[in-house]
Amino acid sequence: MRHEITVGEGAAERSIAVDMREGAGPPVIWFGGFRSDMSGTKAEALDSWAAATGRAFLRFDYSGHGSSGGRFEDGTISRWLEEGLAVIARFTSGHPVIVGSSMGGWLALLAARALKAAKAGREAAALVLVAPAPDFTERLMWDAFPPEAKADILERGVHLRPSSYSDDPYPITRALIEDGRRHLILEGTIETGCPVHILQGMQDPDVPWEHAMRLVEHLPADAVQITLVKDGDHRLSRSEDIDRLLAAVAAAGPPHRPEPAPGAQLRLTV
């Protein structure tokens, strides 16, 4: 069922489109990627799985994406995180399983951390992250940009970055880069309070698999499983990749533990 909620006030007010499938079990919530929308292959596959298994499933579009209002150029990590947390607060009453893809992986980690700190009974039951891109605005964009791209951002406020997934370039704004620095998490310990399963392609040109391994190093208190797909790309949308995703989500979400077990284990599969 389609819903619309309003997030923000005044000039920052925007309408967020949410699709909700009623069901049982910990609600599964989809956090999509940068410039992706909730009609993508993985989100559709999760919705079909939820329908077949009777699970509750939520997906939404960030502002400036898909069916939601607002301009993409106004988007920042802070705004998109605020929208994700608003969706969780409005449509869930239990412990969600958050599934995040690429940028959505960063937002899922930030959301889990915020839910844990809030202690409001909505702490994440589990995270499933597909090619997670924490700190991508700094580590995978700014640090890799040539001098002319950085000059565009600093002097003009925007750089038009060519995309492998669209004929139109992506506008990378100064606001996106500077706001991203407020949310960097690969500089200290990340405490989600729940198990984390990472799916990562080793042929990913956008988020190198080494980036996922660096993330693991910052999750010392959580039980972490990482599945490296030797021939997998960034999207991980092939049928065999979708099967891995559905299996990971189906296995996620054991009864919530207020605190992770000490000495949490790491499981690596290739």
Q: Which of 47, 61, 179, 204 is catalytic?
A: 204
Between CA 19 and CA 46 the distance in angstroms is: 12
Provide DSSP, 96-117: -EEEEETHHHHHHHHHHHHHHH
Q: Which tokens sit at 150?
A: 């950085």
Q: Annotated catalytic, 234? A: yes
Q: Annotated catalytic, 36? A: no
Supply the DSSP symbol for 202.
T
Between CA 192 and CA 189 the distance in angstroms is: 10
Give the helix, strand, coil percentages of the chain, each rounded to 5: 35, 25, 40
Q: Annotated catalytic, 204? A: yes
**Residue 71 in contact with residue 1, Cβ under 8 Å?**
no
Q: Which of 36, 63, 102, 241 is catalytic?
A: 102
Between CA 197 and CA 266 the distance in angstroms is: 10
Return the closest-CA partner of residue 100 out of 176, 54, 38, 177: 38
- Three-class SS of residue 259? coil
Q: Residue 184's CB: how many other CB atoms inside 10 A?
A: 15
Rg of the chain on CA atoms, in Å: 18
Three-point CA angle 108, 173, 102, nearest 5°: 25
Between CA 113 and CA 193 the distance in angstroms is: 8
Between CA 82 and CA 64 the distance in angstroms is: 14
Q: Which of 65, 222, 234, 241 is catalytic?
A: 234
| Residues belonging to the active site | 102, 204, 234
